[in-house]
Structure 1
Amino acid sequence: MAVQVALTGATGFLGLRLLRRLLDTHRSLTVLAHAGSGDALRRITRFFELTGAPEAFTAELPVRLRVVETDLALPRLGLPERAFRELADTTSAIWHSAGSINLEGDLPELRRTNVEGTRHVLELAAASRLRPRVHHVSTAFVAGSRSEGVAYEDELDDTCGFENAYERSKYEAELLVHAWSREHGRPVLVLRPSILVTDLPPHPELPSHPLLVIERILREALRAAGPAGDSGVSPHAPGRHAGSAPRVRMVGHRHGRLNLLQVEHAAEVMVRLAGRTPSGGVDTYHVVHDRDVPVPTFVALLERLGPFSIDLVTGRSGRPSALEALLDFYPGMTAYLAHRRRFDDTRVRALLGPSAASAPVGLDYLWSGLAPGPLPLSGPPAAASPPARCA
């Protein structure tokens, strides 16, 4: 059997874009799909059909992709010994993109997917006689609850704690990667993307992205609060007009910023970085936008999704309204509105030059990825910094 690159998470939001980029440079790939799904090839094919890929390209996918059903939560990926050995010895490189980005998940659940899944992918890499290089997709948010200063790529600690269990699980997975690299003397590429977004309108046959989760939370919270509970503000309060949208207080900073990056650009940068000569240890890169999105822009997006009017406050005071209480219930929902930190990507810019920069991400771009509409028929195409503080 031919030696191939293996990819986990190929049917996911980022994984599909990585798959497209990898198919530009590899004749065939191995897709490690979730056991029991049975439809990975169909979902991949449908994605490319919906995003306007050439018919000749999609027609070749059954020949170019080898689908192996696995369970990342189990030792040997849930495979029999012989099948596991065969997979290991026909794998020249591993891209580990699978994982849960559930900001509402509890830690044991997220550890099963994000930590144990990484452990078992590393087990596959260790078992191969080909010594495949591992490309591990982490997140820039392993920086945790640090809200100010600069997060550097060499940093990996839990001094500031984490905003949610998702961040901690990805941090623990990175610790595992470092320990494995030291134990086996093997290089690993760690890629830390920020929040990945798209301007493709939502579609039931396309994977959702992180902002669609926020849209769902807002919709559910508004429905649960109801017309009588959607605002704790008196109808006679200053600035309140009859029939106007309810006002919601959210903890945030008006000079805060969020890093949002187009998913297609992220995949391109990741595959290009993978082509660099490894150092021999763990090479970590922030795959982030060179320009942050101001928090007021993100607030305007939330208000458009609401509809409601958001007041950024420094801390929760007084009795929260029903809607405010529901929004506060979701960890990670609004925590990042108070962040003013920056993710350093000096290494990426030094290696890739101007091509590392991405087009601006503005309100209209973000809205396009959330508002239902027709899909476009086109193919996926260092100054000194102040000390970082946790709060």
Structure 2
Amino acid sequence: MTIALTGGTGFVGSHLLAELLRRQQRVIALVRGDTDRARLRLRRAVAATGLGAGVLEYLDGVPVVQADLEQPHLGLEIEEFRRLARRIDTIWHCAAHIDLNATETAAHRVNVTGTRRILQLADACLRPPHVVYISTAFVAGRRPSGTVGEDDLDDSHGFVNSYERSKYATEVLIREWASTRATKVTVLRPSVLVTSRPPVARGPRHPHAVVSRRLASYGPHRLARQAGQALPASGVLAARIAVGPQAVINVLPVEYAAAAMVRLASATHPGATRTHHVVHPTDTPARACVLASAAHLPWLEVTPVPDLSDPTPAEKLLEQLASIAVGYRMTGRRYDRRSLDAADAAAGVTPPPPLTPAYLAATFDPGSVLSMPPAQRMPTSTATPTAGTLMRTTPKATPRENAVPPHDSFLGDDPCTRC
């Protein structure tokens, strides 16, 4: 069986690629841009997964094909497009425009139109391929509560951003396409995927690391200056963050998620379209995520509050810098994961335990943007913190302002937030 995979240089896609190679699957990597440079990005991204040298050896034998999701026939000559299609048994489509601040046009062009190009590739295959599409649990949009079913696809609540809307539209497209064809389609809906592994230079990043790196690259002096307020003598900025009292965020280790997605896609498929949530069995309180977000920023002290109707200029600026998290701190909905529970039970896999504060703090490691000694990056306190406030008792270190440009992509060195 030969698998065509898009998005292999991204955070999720690189873990999927590593997992497929670990299982000794034959993979063709469909990549953007020059294939030699793409191969370097693939190697850097897969190395960052930590799955070992054996996986990298398999990666050396992976064919790399330049493909442009925005072009007919993926930008290939028609005969080359047909030759590619004849080699494929399964398509894993993971590439996407994942910038949560993207315009509707940009998100639609890559996520919806790009998927249409992938479905054209599926139509050109000699045999109907199994199409595996990586969607998102956040196609649920602004739904505030209740349990989202695996077959639910409802836009009545609206969406937080263009990314969610485009992924919803793509799921609609895929269902319509599959309804007229004798093919198998698996739609996988992961929640917020993260890792506690330290970030790798120019490697792909996940949402928590993106937020932390953006804040760290600003530093306290620039943030205070841009907000038009003086930095306290202590060097520590205090900020309130609005968090719903009952709000939860589903956060899942990517290492478990990648293996789970491969298990779900490999299960017996009855045909048509199957949809599975790839989510943690235990939701994480949004409050815990907010507190963890400042764990590596000794100059920032955050306090979750149920309402913030009178934000200071600095608090408004912090909201802008962490804009990808806005809209996810007030909802209390949950996700049905019965398919994944069954797959775990069949494989003898134990689901991950609830995420601890230490694990969450590790996911917010911004990487080398901080110039402080490692011992000061994760301060430990013997004092009793004030309720609801992340306190610091280590000496305050001043990060280097503008050490690197703010990095708004989950994709490492790719500036356009696409994989």
Question: Is residue 182 of structure 1 aligned with residue 179 of structure 2?
Answer: yes
Q: How many pairs does the alignment contain?
A: 364
**C-alpha RMSD of matched pairs (Å):** 2.7
In terms of mean alpha carbon deviation, does 278-287 or 17-26 score higher? 17-26
Relative to structure 1, the CA distance from residue 133 to residue 50 in structure 2 (aligned partners, 3 Å threshold; closer, same or farther) is closer
Residue 10 (structure 2) aligns with:
12
Write the letter of the residue equivalent to 2:268: T
Q: TM-score, normalised by structure 1?
A: 0.85
Q: C-alpha displacement at 1:58, in angstroms? A: 2.7
Report if the CA contact (8 A) 1:269-1:287 is conserved. Answer: yes
Q: Which amino acid aligns with 1:337?
A: R
Cα distance in 2 for partners of 1:58, 1:22 equals: 12
Query: 1:59-208 maps to which residues of 2 (within 5 A)?
Result: 59-63=57-61, 65-208=62-205
How far off is 1:81 after superposition?
0.5
8 Å Cα contact 1:33/1:40 also seen in 2: yes
Give the Cα–Cα distance (whole angstroms) in 2 for the partners of residues 264 and 256 of structure 1: 25
Which of 238, 244, 255 is the matching residue for 1:253? 244
The AA in structure 2 aligned to 1:272 is: R
- Superposed displacement of residue 168, structure 1: 0.7
CA distance in 2, matches of 1:151, 1:242: 48
Deviates more, 1:244-253 or 1:163-172: 244-253
> Over residues 205-258 of structure 1, what are the superposed CA-to-partner deviations in whole Å (9 max), with x where a residue is unaligned?
4211111221134346656863356598x99xxxxx963733323332133211
- Cα distance in 1, alignment partners of residues 66 and 6 from structure 2: 10
The question of 1:365 aligning with 2:359 is answered: yes
Distance 1:88 1:229, change over 3 A: closer
Alpha carbons of structure 1 residues 176 and 356: separation in structure 2 relative to 1, 3 Å? farther
Q: Report if the CA contact (8 A) 2:196-2:359 is conserved.
A: yes
- Structure 2 distance, partners of 1:355, 1:211, is 26
Q: What is the deviation of 1:315?
A: 4.0
Corresponding residue of 1:273: 264
One-letter code aligned to 1:129 = L
Measure how far apart 1:314 and its partner are: 4.1
Structure 2: runs of 5 or more not aligned: 369-419
Distance 2:350 2:120 in 1: 32
CA distance in structure 1 between the partners assigned to 2:351 and 2:74 by the alignment: 37
**Alignment counterpart, residue 40 of structure 2, candidates 42, 49, 69:** 42
Instruction: Give the alignment partner of residue 340 of structure 1, picking from 328, 332, 336.
Output: 332
Q: Could you say if the C-alpha distance between residues 224 and 336 of structure 1 is closer, same or farther in structure 2, counting changes exceeding 3 Å?
A: farther
SS of the residue corresponding to residue 188 of structure 2 reads: strand
Q: TM-score, normalised by structure 2?
A: 0.79
CA contact (8 A) 1:246 1:309 kept: yes
Contact 1:251 1:335 in 2 (8 A): no
* AA aligned opposite 2:118: V
Aligned-residue offset at 1:116: 1.2
Residue equivalent to 2:389: none
The counterpart of 1:349, out of the listed 341, 350, 357, is 341
The one-letter amino acid paired with 2:39 is L
SS in 1 for 2:260: helix
The 8 Å contact of residues 202 and 369 in structure 1, kept in 2 or not, is answered as no
- SS of 2:153's equivalent in the other structure is coil
Letter of the 1:352 counterpart: D
Q: Rate the CA distance shift 1:86–1:37 in 2: closer, same or farther, 3 A.
A: closer
SS of the residue 1:109 aligns to? helix
Report the Cα offset of residue 89 of structure 1: 1.1
Distance 1:370 1:311 in 2: 17
Matched letter for residue 333 of structure 2: R
Letter in 2 for 1:257: V
After superposition, what is the alpha-carbon deviation per residue over 1:345-376, rounded to whole angstroms, capped at 9, x for unaligned? 12221333262611432222233233338xxx
Letter in 2 for 1:61: L
Which whole-Å CA distance do the structure 2 matches of 1:295 and 1:29 have between them?
38
Residue pair 2:287, 2:304 contacting (<8 A) in 1 also? no
Amino acid at match of 1:211: H
Q: What whole-Å deviation, never above 9, does each CA across 1:260-314 have from its counterpart, x for those lacking one?
A: 1111110101111111122221100000001111122112112324443334344
Structure 1, residues 27-58: CA drift from partner, whole Å, max 9, x if none? Answer: 52110011335322223333454555554553
Q: Is the 8 A contact 2:196 2:362 kept in 1?
A: yes
**Alpha carbons 1:221, 1:327 under 8 Å: kept:** no
Cα deviation for residue 335 of structure 1 reads 1.7
Given that residues 251 and 334 in structure 1 are in contact (C-alpha distance below 8 angstroms), is that contact kept between their aligned partners in structure 2?
Answer: no
* Cα 1:326–1:222 shift into 2, 3 Å: farther
Q: Distance in 1 between matches of 2:221 and 2:149?
A: 41
Q: 1:148 offset after TM fit, Å? A: 1.4
The one-letter amino acid of 2:337's match is D
Cα offset, 1:344, TM superposition: 1.2
CA distance in 1, matches of 2:48, 2:149: 38
- SS state at 2:325 partner: coil
CA drift at 1:73: 1.4
Query: 2:21, 2:59 within 8 Å by CA — same for their partners in 1?
Result: no
Preserved CA contact (<8 Å) 2:145 2:334: yes
Which amino acid is 2:156 matched to? T
Q: Aligned to 1:324, what secondary structure does the other structure show?
A: helix
